Amino acid sequence: MTRFFPRLAILAVFLAPIPAGAGQGGPGILFPPDLTLATEPKIRVFAFRAEEGGPDNVFVNGIPAAPLEGDTFLKGEIPLYPGLNMVRVGGAAVRVFVLSGAKMEDFRTASGGGEDLVFRAFRVHPALEDGCESCHSVEGGKLKAKDQKESCYSCHDDFSRGEGGKKVYLHAPVEAGECTGCHDPHFSALPKLQKLEKGCQECHDPFPEGKSVHEPVADGECVACHSPHAGPAPKQLLRPGNSLCLGCHEEPHTRHRSAAVRGTMTVVPDEFPREKGELSCAGCHAPHRSDEANLFRTSQQKLCAVCHRM
């Protein structure tokens, strides 16, 4: 939900802040990012600097707050004030707006000239509490990312290992060990630390409009059928074969379940998709969209004629 504030009598909110990156050897703020929306009057702050130096002072609207503790990696919790807060650590600063108890993901301020400013509620990666070393090595005062499979799987499940040794089908970024292709390693305004506003369509082309569109596709709910990481069936499907369709469609076509032929006018082609002794739902229906009604793969007349010879 976005809330719009047409007039905010805070001139400073429209001024460009000092960059959050380190300046003149000082610390760079890792979290919060600039234009953060906070829903309580406090926030965790994480920062990094190239050289060890002990605790570093934090200023909120020019008022000293509790210093951040640490040497190269710094962290701490600071109090905030209602409305705009300019949080400064060394030469770095970010803007945080406090709306206590607000049930919103972001809100917009009218700048009176330039582009509106949008403050967003961000989720922070819990691993930041443990410092940088779990995901990075420090070389020459700079952070170098470790192999993602090594760092991510030290906390998260290894998706390449199926239960009981069963084969799993991996999403290409997962197989390549590129977790950051979809997830931000530090913070995100999206659930699950997603960093892609378009979600799956950031990489996968959207399906064109059709006469009939599968409801999950229309709603952008790709994960209703596909796992974003790994699945027991090709295309990372959550379940193999007809069992996936029957998870939602509880009343299948009783006359079109068995692949056994009982009439002389019916011949099921060898290439028609089957699942053991049953016809596959995908033999007649497209999973995403179709130019025909009911997601039929072709016209109903042509589709029936595939098996029912006249």
Note the pLDDT tens digit of each residue in 44-77: 999 998 887 778 899 999 999 989 999 889 999 9
CATH number, domain with residue 15: 2.60.40.10
The answer to whether residue 12 scores a pLDDT higher than 50 is no
Residue 85 tokens read as 């807060």
Tell me the pLDDT tens digit for each residue of 179-233.
Answer: 999 999 999 999 999 998 888 999 998 888 899 999 999 999 999 999 999 999 9
| Residue 310 domain flag | no
Question: Looking at the structure, do residues 147 and 116 belong to the same domain, yes or no?
Answer: no
Whether the pTM exceeds 0.85: the reply is no
Question: Looking at the structure, do residues 264 and 244 belong to the same domain, yes or no?
Answer: yes
Question: Looking at the structure, do residues 217 and 294 belong to the same domain, yes or no?
Answer: yes
> Of 121, 146, 181, which marks where a domain is finished?
121
| Residue 207 domain flag | no
| Residue 14 domain flag | yes
Q: Residue 105 has what pLDDT?
A: 86
Question: Looking at the structure, do residues 56 and 105 belong to the same domain, yes or no?
Answer: yes
Question: Looking at the structure, do residues 140 and 111 belong to the same domain, yes or no?
Answer: no
Q: Residue 138 has what pLDDT?
A: 82
State the pLDDT confidence band at 1, using cuts at 50, 70 and 90.
Answer: low
* Listed residue (144, 16, 152, 137) closest to 86, CA to CA: 16
**Parallel, antiparallel, or unpaired for β 123-124 and 187-188?**
antiparallel
Query: What does each C-alpha distance from 252 to 39, 198, 243, 245 come to in angstroms?
Result: 48, 33, 11, 9
* Residues 10 and 83 sit within 8 Å (Cβ to Cβ): yes
Please give the residue range of the domain that contains residue 182. 136-202
| Residue 131 domain flag | no
Question: Looking at the structure, do residues 53 and 76 belong to the same domain, yes or no?
Answer: yes
* Dihedral pair phi/psi, residue 231, rounded to 5°: -140, 165
> Of 121, 146, 180, which marks where a domain is finished?
121
The answer to whether residue 6 scores a pLDDT higher than 60 is no
45: number of Cβ within 10 Å: 24
The arithmetic mean of pLDDT across residues 15-22, rounded, is 54
* Residues 136 and 128 sit within 8 Å (Cβ to Cβ): no
Question: Looking at the structure, do residues 223 and 295 belong to the same domain, yes or no?
Answer: yes
Question: Looking at the structure, do residues 12 and 67 belong to the same domain, yes or no?
Answer: yes
HEC secondary structure over 276-298:
CCEECHHHCECCCEECCHHHECC
* Residues 306 and 264 sit within 8 Å (Cβ to Cβ): no
State the pLDDT confidence band at 33, using cuts at 50, 70 and 90.
Answer: very high
| Residue 259 domain flag | yes
Separation CA 286–CA 222 (nearest Å) = 15
| Residue 128 domain flag | no
Domains held by the chain: number = 3
> Of 95, 121, 147, which marks where a domain is finished?
121
| Residue 127 domain flag | no
Question: Looking at the structure, do residues 80 and 154 belong to the same domain, yes or no?
Answer: no
